[in-house]
Chains A and B, each alone.
Chain A
């Protein structure tokens, strides 16, 4: 069965510094990987996805993520953090060789300190 892990419940970063939110996954086949962000009292907003092709994926709001097959990771990154990036971030995976269900990580709360 597939699984996805976000090892950090919370990440604190100073404004202007680079940020990384970690995600690792376990699947039987090829993964479809997604990152979503959730602001307070809001639904999830799509940031980016990896399906195939270039391992570096660029998404909304200046975010990017790198697919690393050998390390089974899909870390979310941004070169320079903004206070407005403070939110809850979810990594998700679909395992196309299993049961096609999308599985979400527990979420990582990102705090950008002014």
Chain B
């Protein structure tokens, strides 16, 4: 099976712009989660989607949003970019039924976003 793929891998934006990142989960996986990784804050949970529904959300401002499509692919959007949004954004997918939090998450390589 192909792994989790994320596009683009690298991105440079300027303050005030908006950005959309894409994640394609492992075939058959229905849950997709997004994380932000920075040297200072470590790995922080952004949101989790299952069957096109957001079922959990981290403590991030409303500028961060996401969605999931019927084929389980997911996108996250950050509007009005700030310098502090520079980070590695990781996507993870897992299979199983809704509520089955025992499932292992498989991570993509990440999208490295630099905001200038």
Which residues of B pack against A, CB within 8 Å?
4, 33, 35, 42-45, 48, 55-56, 58, 90, 92, 101-102, 104-110
Contacts and interface: CB of A to CB of B under 8 A. Distances in A.
Contacts of B92: 43-44
Interface stretch (A18-26, A68-76, A78-86, A92-100): A92-100
Contacts of B105: 34, 46, 102
Given A42-B110, A44-B92, A99-B56, 11 more contacts: A32-B102, A34-B104, A34-B105, A44-B90, A46-B106, A49-B102, A51-B102, A94-B101, A102-B45, A104-B35, A107-B42
Contacts of A104: 35, 42-45
Given A42-B109, A43-B90, A44-B90, A90 B104 contact: no
Nearest to B40: A106
Interface residues of A, number: 23
A27 to B, nearest CB: 13
Contact of B108 (A43, A96, A102, A103): A43
B110 A43 contact: yes
A105 B106 CA distance: 17
B101 A45 contact: no
Contact of A105 (B42, B101, B109): B42
Interface of A: 32, 34, 36, 41-46, 49, 51, 90, 94, 96, 99-107
B58 to A, nearest CB: 7
A99 B48 CA distance: 12
11 contacts: A43-B4, A44-B92, A49-B102, A51-B102, A100-B55, A100-B56, A101-B58, A102-B45, A103-B45, A104-B35, A104-B42
Contacts of B43: 90, 104, 107
B90 A46 contact: no
A88 to B, nearest CB: 10
Q: Which of A44, A90, A106 has the most CB of B within 10 A?
A: A44
